Amino acid sequence: MTRTPLIAGNWKMNTTIDEAISLIKTMQPQLHKIQGVEKVLCPPFVSLMVARGITKGSSVKLGAQNVFYEEKGAFTGEISPLMLAGLCEYVIVGHSERRQYFGETNEVIDKKIKAAIKAGLKPIFCVGETLEENEAGQTREVLGRQLIDSSDRFYFLSGCVIAYEPIWAIGTGRSASGDDASRTIGFIRQFVSRQHGSGIANSVRILYGGSVNAANIAEFMRKPDIDGALVGGASLKADEFVSIVKQASDIKGV
Ligand code: PGA
């Protein structure tokens, strides 16, 4: 089963519209040339429209960083899946920063994923454990809960991607080792297999995220079970992000 690698850049709450334009214009021609890997940029909502204009006709795809689960109505400040459909292909759902700072529960995340899929978006569904949970040996239990509470067979048939992001590795400069990430991602794949069968488990893409950079991406891409990366800080540096995508393509491009 060949899974096309995916490298997604999560810009988080960074870049003004002008900065986003400049960053995309710098990266886009170089990213476009790199084949065999899906390349996804996730700028802030307000820059998606201009980003779409710049990336139109190129192989660079777009994603949003969040979505609400209702289609429309009195939900001041929220963005619905219908607003994103046609603007981007992917949407990050359940990022640990959303869980931590905005109180998103597995139940809310489940609703968001279903609503996103219904609108034709592909979710990048984030799971991961805290440092305390990791040190207490609870990683598998926590991931199992996140996966059971919000993981429908229907997700994976609709192109949903899983991103394993240990919370202690996000933005800290302390990534998981390739071996540890691979072991945990292998566990996630087995878990999906037990729940939904080996066909789905072998086709779902599972990314690693947490302090990925140009110096460590190769270590992750060399692991058979790791299908790419969700990159935060390093995706804001054009040269570094291009290098990450290039290495992913060299190692595992299809
Ligand atoms: P980081 O963020 O690469 O800056 O650690 C990853 C993420 O939060 O998706």
pLDDT in tens, 101-144: 999 999 999 999 999 999 999 999 999 999 999 999 999 999 99
Atom nearest to 211 CA in ligand 1: 5
SS3 at position 60? strand
> Can 196 be counted among the known catalytic residues?
no
Catalytic residue among 104, 133, 165, 240: 165
What does the alpha-carbon distance between residue 181 and residue 189 come to, in Å, rounded to a whole number?
12
Distance of CA 191 to the CA centre of its chain: 19
- Reported as a single tens digit per residue, the pLDDT across 58-68 is 999 999 999 99
Alpha carbon of 235 to ligand 1 centroid (Å): 9
Integer Cα distance of 64 and 162 in angstroms: 15
Q: What confidence score (pLDDT) does residue 197 get?
A: 92
109 close to 93: Cβ distance less than 8 angstroms: yes
Catalytic, 95? Answer yes
Place of tokens 């997604």: 8
150 Cβ below 6 A of ligand 1: no
pLDDT of residue 1 exceeding 80, the answer is no
Whole-number Å distance, alpha carbon 6 to ligand 1 midpoint, is 15
Average confidence (pLDDT) over 24-47: 98
pTM over 0.85, yes/no: yes
